[in-house]
Amino acid sequence: MEEPKSINPVGNQLKLPRLVSNGMVLQRATTVRIWGWAAAGEAVTVYFIGVEYKTEAAEDGTWEFRTIQHGTADGKS
């Protein structure tokens, strides 16, 4: 599994994989899996492309969500 990187969270320490960062490139017209690590049971809220996603870290500290689709395959928003 990829080593997590720390970010500046509010509250407990939240970690994201190195792949998830500023400047990352995403494919259009598909859902995107965002994941990371936090304290077991910790509420996780992520704002991604103007949408709020909420989840909770599992007993092993992992969490994830899949985004809604943005844009279309032909490049139209």
Contacts with 56 (C-beta within 8 Å, 6 or more apart), sequence order: 41, 42, 43, 44, 63
pLDDT at 10 over 50: no
Contacts with 72 (C-beta within 8 Å, 6 or more apart), sequence order: 28, 29
Kindly report, residue by residue over 21-35, the tens digit of the pLDDT.
788 787 888 888 889
Specify the higher pLDDT residue, 22 or 65: 65
The confidence score (pLDDT) of residue 12 equals: 60
pTM for the model stands at 0.67
Nearest Cα residue to 21 out of 34, 11, 12, 31: 34
Kindly report, residue by residue over 37-58, the tens digit of the pLDDT.
999 999 999 888 788 999 999 9
Cα torsion angle, 11, 5, 30, 64, sign? negative
User: In terms of DSSP bridges, do strands 15-17 and 51-56 run parallel, antiparallel, or are they unpaired?
Assistant: unpaired
